[in-house]
Structure 1
């Protein structure tokens, strides 16, 4: 028993060390690997249908699904990123040259306010218009500088971007083709009861699909609608603002209104009542209702977590993992809640033995 125990501990130690070393080896391309797995989970139902029609051609089925993924997701995303970076760089040039100034817009809003509001601002210590103008202009300049810097970085690191994209597509092909076998292997290796294994795997798949199919699709729709109405109203940088609204739409209790509502207020105080009415009506009855209509259709009721959990986990994921945190954060939160929900049953099973 002693020798068996020593052998077991040694083997587990070796297993952990080798696994950590392998994870460290893959760390530079973890984003490509992660998104390859996410897309494989998201497109597995489509791949299953194609495989049912062509059961003798697994490679062809995986390739067909991969091409559909390229057309639906990857190519449009690359075009959007390219246009976004180009527009961000252009806005940065206009801000730096002084042609565009947020401080000027703030000055127009303040000038249009009644004297009672001016007095209230003075009492609250917000009457230093010049200081606020400088802060707004500096903040806008820093934000646009970041986007312009990202454009330069991507241009300088084109080889790295292409390698990551190639790894993601290569991995996606094999995950689609061999995904069922890999899932059975993972399920077999998990040190849990079959019922608990099935629950955790289903929860993982459900949350990934819900995040991609639900949250991201809803956010993209709200961002596209927001960018569209900004373009119709002739607002500068409609594409950039649309993308910002899409990201904010991923956060509960924040949403796209944090962008379009101040613009509507600016229209109101500067006398552009028609534009303000159009923007408010479109924001409330079109952009605002997208979440209530699309999300229940795309995300089942059983997959929804409390809004405060989604908000905290998304912000934490962004802070820890960057843009990947939009998916990783809610996923870890869902798995955390699932594992703790299994804890009482695991205790009973342990004591029963």
Structure 2
């Protein structure tokens, strides 16, 4: 009854049960934990530099790293968030009062469209123009209600947000300070060959650092450039559209164009040719180049994944996990590719297992140098 096999089986079952229970307990703070880990990975090189400067004082170096993170990341986001809430309130009020009328804008585009284009639309049976106008008007009304409800939800969930925010900061401090020791203990605890464990954890770290650093840099650059263009052209709610462009730019290749493209079409259709031309030029040759140049350099190069894998994993991750998915999706894709690469190189983890253990340290060193 007390055979070693039975004891081991019971222990593994207990280990699995308490692990699942612990993850279940952490689920309310999933976002806080995720961003605490991501920011810790991103700012660990800075912590190590400060640790050398402060002559081996880990607490002071961790606090300094936390303060720098607050100053260059969190506080600017908070300031943009406060301004965004005010902008949302103004835009919502303008939609309700009719000052912003998407149905009227659509009608202006129809009035300016040539007859051959209207005939072509009718030929392809795209529907009655009046029906499309009614749909756009209804969608605009629903959008204003959604914006108002989300703003109200943000206000109601302020306490939960504050709790999660401080949990993230608390966790970030300890992960920055003790991250190396935690990583070593994790490598020692995982029941995998040590080179494989090191390789997979290093891939996890590299992808998170590249994804957060690259996607956030691209989003900020595209949102700022698009917002400035909208402000210069006199588009109402420039900050709101800038944030939407930054959010949508998380989708490679197509993101920001979903915002500036319709506005450029409206300008051209209503006779504002220079505004439309300027916006198209900025969108294609400035915002587009940011995506085409920065994203492959900051994301694809470090993750060593094809662009189409980055695109699909980002969209899929955001569809499942929301905003957190732009980190989770590429991480899952990278670990999937890394695990299958190990599986293939190790001869299906069979007789070639020893050769794989000899081969993987070279790949680990290569990845550490790239990261």
**C-alpha separation in 2, matches of 1:38 and 1:317:** 16
Moved more, 93-102 or 221-230: 93-102
**C-alpha separation in 2, matches of 1:150 and 1:72:** 27
**C-alpha separation in 2, matches of 1:145 and 1:129:** 24
Paired position in structure 2 for 1:53: 53
**C-alpha separation in 2, matches of 1:318 and 1:296:** 20
TM-score under structure 2 length normalisation? 0.90
2:253·2:291 contact (CA, 8 Å) conserved in 1?
Answer: no
Paired position in structure 2 for 1:134: 134
1:59·1:177 contact (CA, 8 Å) conserved in 2?
Answer: yes
Paired position in structure 2 for 1:261: 261
RMSD over aligned CA atoms reads 1.9
- What aligned pairs does 1:304-315 form with structure 2 within 5 A after superposition? 304-315=304-315
Paired position in structure 1 for 2:318: 318
Residue by residue over 1:34-60, the C-alpha shift from the partner in whole angstroms, topping out at 9 and shown as x without a partner, is 110110001111111111111331111
Deviation at 1:194, TM superposition (A): 2.0
**C-alpha separation in 1, matches of 2:79 and 2:134:** 34
**SS in structure 2 of the partner of residue 350 of structure 1:** coil
Evaluate the alpha carbon distance shift between residue 24 and residue 63 of structure 1 in structure 2; reply closer, same or farther with a 3 A threshold.
same
**C-alpha separation in 2, matches of 1:152 and 1:184:** 44
**C-alpha separation in 2, matches of 1:63 and 1:313:** 35
Moved more, 185-194 or 60-69: 185-194
Paired position in structure 2 for 1:7: 7
**C-alpha separation in 2, matches of 1:352 and 1:300:** 31
**C-alpha separation in 1, matches of 2:114 and 2:203:** 55
TM-score under structure 1 length normalisation? 0.94
**C-alpha separation in 1, matches of 2:240 and 2:304:** 29
Please state if 1:221 is matched with 2:224.
Answer: no
**C-alpha separation in 2, matches of 1:157 and 1:348:** 49
Paired position in structure 2 for 1:200: 200
Paired position in structure 2 for 1:162: 162
Paired position in structure 1 for 2:88: 88
Please state if 1:33 is matched with 2:51.
Answer: no
1:252·1:308 contact (CA, 8 Å) conserved in 2?
Answer: no
Paired position in structure 2 for 1:242: 242
- What aligned pairs does 1:102-141 form with structure 2 within 5 A after superposition? 102-126=102-126, 128-141=128-141
Deviation at 1:347, TM superposition (A): 4.2
Residue by residue over 1:205-247, the C-alpha shift from the partner in whole angstroms, topping out at 9 and shown as x without a partner, is 1110111111121122111111110111011221111112112
1:118·1:127 contact (CA, 8 Å) conserved in 2?
Answer: no
Residue by residue over 1:102-151, the C-alpha shift from the partner in whole angstroms, topping out at 9 and shown as x without a partner, is 11111101101112122222223345222111211222332332232222
Paired position in structure 2 for 1:64: 64
Deviation at 1:293, TM superposition (A): 3.1
**SS in structure 1 of the partner of residue 3 of structure 2:** helix
- What aligned pairs does 1:333-348 form with structure 2 within 5 A after superposition? 333-348=333-348
Which 5+ residue runs of structure 1 have no aligned equivalent?
none
Moved more, 3-12 or 235-244: 235-244
- What aligned pairs does 1:174-213 form with structure 2 within 5 A after superposition? 174-213=174-213
**C-alpha separation in 1, matches of 2:276 and 2:330:** 35
1:210·1:303 contact (CA, 8 Å) conserved in 2?
Answer: yes
Which 5+ residue runs of structure 2 have no aligned equivalent?
354-371
1:92·1:141 contact (CA, 8 Å) conserved in 2?
Answer: no
